[in-house]
Amino acid sequence: MLLVRLLLAVAEQRAPDGAVPVLLPLASWNPAAEDLYTWLAAKLTQDYVGLRGPAPACVGSMNWARALLEHRLILPILDGLDELPRPPAPWRSMRSTVLCPLVRPWWSPAVSTSTGRPSAPRPGFR
């Protein structure tokens, strides 16, 4: 429920040319099989039929979902960090696997958010 409230607040305050917040459950993502960006594009095309079609040639040869992600016009709001598989090694957190790719492209001035149950610090993290 909190994520829905966040999504509505972000949508209400976004600039006309700003990123559109989209709630995406992480349950269907397998980090070992595909990177987050690829999964985001696939999930968007699966859930939103209108994003499957080709984008204008001026943005390259990609569908609308990829074009919107590439131009930072979609703000992913991720739900379910607690549903991701356990990390393969103690120093490799699945949460960092999710968050690192998100932080780079959406670092400024957009906001990225995700949820999950808090966990105890793991050895090697401070």
Give Cα 78 to chain centroid, integer Å: 6
Q: Write out the residue range of the structural domain in which residue 83 sits.
A: 2-10+22-114
76: helix, strand or coil: strand
Query: Is residue 122 a part of any domain in this protein?
Result: no
7: helix, strand or coil: helix
Query: Is residue 15 a part of any domain in this protein?
Result: no
Tallying the residues shown for the chain, one arrives at 126
The total number of structural domains in the chain stands at: 1
Give per-residue pLDDT as tens, 22-49: 999 988 888 878 888 899 999 999 999 9
Query: Is residue 89 a part of any domain in this protein?
Result: yes
Query: Is residue 125 a part of any domain in this protein?
Result: no
**Residue 93 pLDDT > 80, yes or no?**
no
With the C-alpha atoms ordered 79, 83, 88, 90, is the resulting torsion angle positive or negative?
positive
Query: Is residue 16 a part of any domain in this protein?
Result: no
